[in-house]
Amino acid sequence: MKFKTFFWFVAPSVFMMLLFIAAPLISVFIQSFQITQPVMQQIEVETCTPGFLTQTCVTETKTVPVINEETGRTETTTAWVGFRSYQNVLQMDKFWSAIGSGNWGEILQIDFWKALRFTLMFTLVTLPLVIGVGLMIALAVNNAAKSLRGPVIFVSLLPFIITPVIGSLSIYWLFVGDGILTATLERWTGQDIAMFAQAWTIELLMYFYRVWHVAPFAFVIFYAGLQTVNMDTLESAIIDGASRFERLRYVIVPHLMPLIIFIALIHLMDCYRVFDEIIGFRSQAHVISLQWLTFDFLTPDDAGNRAISRAAASAMLTMVGIVILLILPLRRTWRDHKGGTH
Amino acid sequence: MYLKKLALAGAVSLLGSTAFAACSYENEVPLKSLTAGFEAWKAVTDAMAECGNFQAELDQEFRTKQPAAFEANPSLYQIGGVSNGTITPLLNAGTIRPLDDLVEKYGQNLSPNQLIRVDGKIMAVAMMVNTQHLMYRSDILADLGIETPTTWDEVFAAAEKIEEAGVVDHAIGATMKSGWNLAQEFVNMYPGFGGAFFNADNTTAVNSEAGMKALDTMKRTLDFTDPEVLVSDSTYVQQQFQQGKIAMANLWASRAGAMNDESESTVVGKVSMAAAPMAMDGGAPATTLWWDGIVIAANITDEEADAAFRLAMEGLDTEMVQGANEAAIWLVNGYAPGPLAEGAIATATANPAPPAYPSTTQMGLLHTALGNELPAFLTGERGAEATLVAVTEAYTTAAKEAGVLE
């Protein structure tokens, strides 16, 4: 392709990427090293609030922002603070003192590390499950009778179509309190079951939900891949007396390897940003994720405060985490690409 | 039938410009409001809509939108619904206007109690009070011969008897969803033990004896609640009541009406209201007082403000209250307190009276810190003292960032 054609072909998407990805990223990067705060003053204020019949008035010293007379907006100052917001998120001093004193459990009481523990575990536990379940469905569909394939594909794709928040809310409603499934389980086992009362059951539901939701994506990719398996190789393997498992292990899986890596890449990126499950399951008391932490910093409280610098720092840390996770599979893809084996 | 109603509602909202008989005048200026979405606001905004040219937005997440929407010039909404918690950012940013001259012009029906004055200027007009107070199943307590509890110790004693009798799944319901709700439980309990939230230099004082006692009382509650209490918000507790699963709860007065809603509730007429229990003898009921009311944006023309306030007064008139008497503890003339309001009135008129929820920047920061740090205590991951230290640290970090602390 001529360079000029190529340029005009990709220009719109490069422009969009610069505008919607690069620019916000740079802005968040800068904000993570800055703190913008209103200029505060202390004033004596009398506030009267209603009781049921009469008012109570109290005079107290309040700390309120200064309002600029000309613009009518609050005056703010912005200061460069170096890595202070990162320190406030990471709380390394507590981290090291917990390690120093040997109380490893204390690390998990710091929000960031608690979130990191769950996020990593969630990502790494669901990864093999998604690939395994996806491959199993693909093999099953591939071996199903032709007349059945259409409906089976349709049904196995359904979970992927559901909006993540709606899906997690449905699971929450099925299990919370005397939800249908909890009530059934209780009748069946004769025990009182509370799925949302402790961390491990909530996590279990989250793993289950994510695998249920994402496995169809892996399935579709693998199913497409299975159509391109070299039949000659398979047949010669059969003639050589390879069992079903050996054919899978030595012929099919190596053939699908680039796809497995592709799915792993996508899954690592998606899972590290786990968020819907936390909100849908209302699990903040027991389980939090990195993305939720950023969201929590950004949510204004009743008085309108939001921790934008810490949110920026936390977002940058999340990005660094994803990059580290992706290095391994990306290096492999790069090697394969350079080696020209395909 | 339902579809028909829906179609009708749609048609009515489209015909917003037509005046209706129930309104005393026809509104000519296009106006919009942003308020919370509970029953009382629905009644008020419906009454305002009768005058025409008015669009109401009822949104439970209004608090995240309101500061930015009012800071725009011109403001995106002329009328705002606030409470003493959510008025703070609007006051701080100066995006709501003083109402003194408008009250003089249109506010003949307002009682002095309704006028929220900050530094002598009327900044908001209150329409109702709200508070968390004791709701209990009067039939169960009568059957078991239990007097209405007035302190938390009595609540726990009653809960023990109720659990023994096994008449409900869990004796107590609590709005302890981690985050805002859970923090609010502490904010109720802590002043009940005589605690002050802040020192004079804006540092927090929660790491104190009263703080330890408040945490201890909250933990004792867990013995009698649903094990999933850390996900239960006001709506969830309301439903537990309606389905006959709990016998007592310290719940919002604005939820009382739902107990007698025959389409939802299985316990119609069986739930009574009493003052919020005291945390210690001779103390104030362990709760905070709230008000809800309207504000008018600063960044609009005087004509718009005039029309907006006039319309708001039409929404807050006696006629509206008589149509929705049970929806809230109204401060508006014409309100006839029914049995559902007894608890809230007893709470508000108690001596000593519970404090009003403080509308300050620091309180917002502390509320968030409490909401994030308390769950670890209630799940047993962290001790009481360590939790109060963690709350103090979280508050200090946030307060420094917000410029409240040096």
Which pLDDT does position B18 carry in this prediction? 42
List C-alpha distances in Å: A172 to A96, A213, B375: 37, 14, 19
Tell me the pLDDT tens digit for each residue of B235-252.
899 999 999 999 999 999
End-to-end CA distance of chain B: 62
- The burial of A43, by beta-carbon neighbours within 10 Å (0-12 exposed, 13-18 middle, 19 or more buried), is given as exposed
Which pLDDT does position B1 carry in this prediction? 45
Mean pLDDT of the region B330-353: 90
CB A222 within 8 A of CB A134: yes
pLDDT-derived band at A332, boundaries 50, 70, 90: confident
Query: What sections of chain A are H helices per DSSP?
Result: 3-17, 23-31, 84-90, 92-100, 104-107, 111-143, 146-161, 164-175, 180-189, 199-226, 231-239, 244-247, 253-272, 276-281, 290-298, 308-339
Higher-pLDDT residue of B19, A170: A170
Tell me the pLDDT tens digit for each residue of B31-49.
999 999 888 999 999 999 9
Residues 6+ apart with CB under 8 A from A225: A138, A255, A256, A259
Shortest CA gap A292–chain B (Å): 12
List C-alpha distances in Å: B209 to B195, B204, B264, B388: 8, 13, 42, 10
List C-alpha distances in Å: A303 to A306, B52, B77, B364: 9, 33, 19, 5
Domain topology for B2-128+290-344: D-Maltodextrin-Binding Protein; domain 2 (3.40.190)
List C-alpha distances in Å: A246 to A38, A229, A240, B40: 68, 15, 11, 69
Q: Is B131-288+349-402 a domain of CATH 3.40.190.10?
A: yes
Higher-pLDDT residue of B306, B21: B306
> Is residue B17 scored above 80 in pLDDT?
no
Shortest CA gap A167–chain B (Å): 18
CB B255 within 8 A of CB B234: yes
Residue B112: is the preceding peptide bond cis (ω within 30°)?
A: no
Tell me the pLDDT tens digit for each residue of A1-35.
788 899 999 999 999 999 999 999 999 999 999 99
| Chain A residues with beta carbon closer than 8 angstroms to that of B404 | 40, 63
Closest CA to A223 of A286, A294, A149: A149
Which pLDDT does position B12 carry in this prediction? 45
| Chain B residues with beta carbon closer than 8 angstroms to that of A176 | 228, 231
Higher-pLDDT residue of A336, A120: A120
Tell me the pLDDT tens digit for each residue of A227-280.
998 888 888 888 988 888 888 888 899 999 999 999 999 999 999 999 999 999
Taking the CA atoms of residue B19, residue B22, residue B26 and residue B30 in that order, the dihedral angle to the nearest 10 degrees is -70
Cβ contact B63–A39 (<8 Å): no
Q: Is B75 helix (H, G, I), strand (E, B) or coil?
A: coil
Cβ contact A54–B119 (<8 Å): no
Q: Is B54 helix (H, G, I), strand (E, B) or coil?
A: strand
Which residues of chain B are in CATH 3.40.190.10 domains? Answer: 2-128+290-344, 131-288+349-402
Residue B116 near chain A (CB below 8 Å): yes
Cβ under 8 Å to A: B residues 1-60? none
Give the integer Cα–Cα distance in Å for B53 and B180. Answer: 36
Residue B380 near chain A (CB below 8 Å): no
Shortest CA gap A331–chain B (Å): 39
- The burial of B40, by beta-carbon neighbours within 10 Å (0-12 exposed, 13-18 middle, 19 or more buried), is given as buried
Angle at A249 between CA A246 and CA A252, to 5 degrees: 110
> Is residue A338 scored above 80 in pLDDT?
no
Average pLDDT score over chain B? 90
pTM of the model: 0.87
Which chain A residue shows the shortest CA-CA distance from B184? A302
A282, A299, A304: residue with CB nearest B92: A304
Tell me the pLDDT tens digit for each residue of A143-165.
888 888 888 888 889 998 889 88
- Strand B115-118 with B31-35, pairing: unpaired
CB B257 within 8 A of CB B135: no
> Is residue B110 scored above 50 in pLDDT?
yes
CB B392 within 8 A of CB A336: no
Return the CA Rg of chain B: 22
A49, A52, A302: residue with CB nearest B367: A302
Mean pLDDT of the region A104-126: 92
Which pLDDT does position A339 carry in this prediction? 65
> Is residue B19 scored above 50 in pLDDT?
no
- Residue B353: CB atoms within 10 A of its CB come to 15
B349, B359, B379: residue with CB nearest A52: B349
Interface test with A, best of B118, B204, B401 (most A CBs within 10 A): B401
> Is residue B3 within a helix (H) or strand (E), and if so which, with residue range?
helix B2-14
Outline where DSSP puts E strands in B209-288.
246-252, 271-274
Give the integer Cα–Cα distance in Å for A106 and A93. Answer: 12
pLDDT-derived band at A103, boundaries 50, 70, 90: confident
Residue B352: is the preceding peptide bond cis (ω within 30°)?
A: yes
> Is residue B5 scored above 60 in pLDDT?
no
Domain positions in chain A are 104-339
> Is residue B183 scored above 80 in pLDDT?
yes
pLDDT-derived band at B396, boundaries 50, 70, 90: very high
Q: Given the cut 0.95, state whether the ipTM is greater than it.
A: no
> Is residue B168 scored above 70 in pLDDT?
yes
A47, A108, A302: residue with CB nearest B86: A302
Mean pLDDT of the region A89-99: 91
Give the integer Cα–Cα distance in Å for A289 and A213. Answer: 18
Tell me the pLDDT tens digit for each residue of A286-329.
999 999 999 999 988 888 888 999 999 999 999 999 999 999 88
Domain topology for A104-339: MetI-like fold (1.10.3720)
> Is residue B381 scored above 60 in pLDDT?
yes
- The burial of B58, by beta-carbon neighbours within 10 Å (0-12 exposed, 13-18 middle, 19 or more buried), is given as middle
> Is residue B7 scored above 60 in pLDDT?
no
Min mean pLDDT across A150-164, B20-34, B170-184 is at B20-34
Higher-pLDDT residue of B376, B406: B376
Residues 6+ apart with CB under 8 A from A281: A168, A171, A172, A196, A202, A205, A206, A287, B231
Cβ contact B228–A196 (<8 Å): yes
Mean pLDDT of the region B320-329: 89
A45, A55, A300: residue with CB nearest B113: A55
Give the integer Cα–Cα distance in Å for A32 and A319. Answer: 13
Angle at B259 between CA B13 and CA B226, to 5 degrees: 115
Which chain A residue shows the shortest CA-CA distance from B83? A302
Cβ contact B88–A74 (<8 Å): no
pLDDT-derived band at B161, boundaries 50, 70, 90: very high
Higher-pLDDT residue of A339, B289: B289
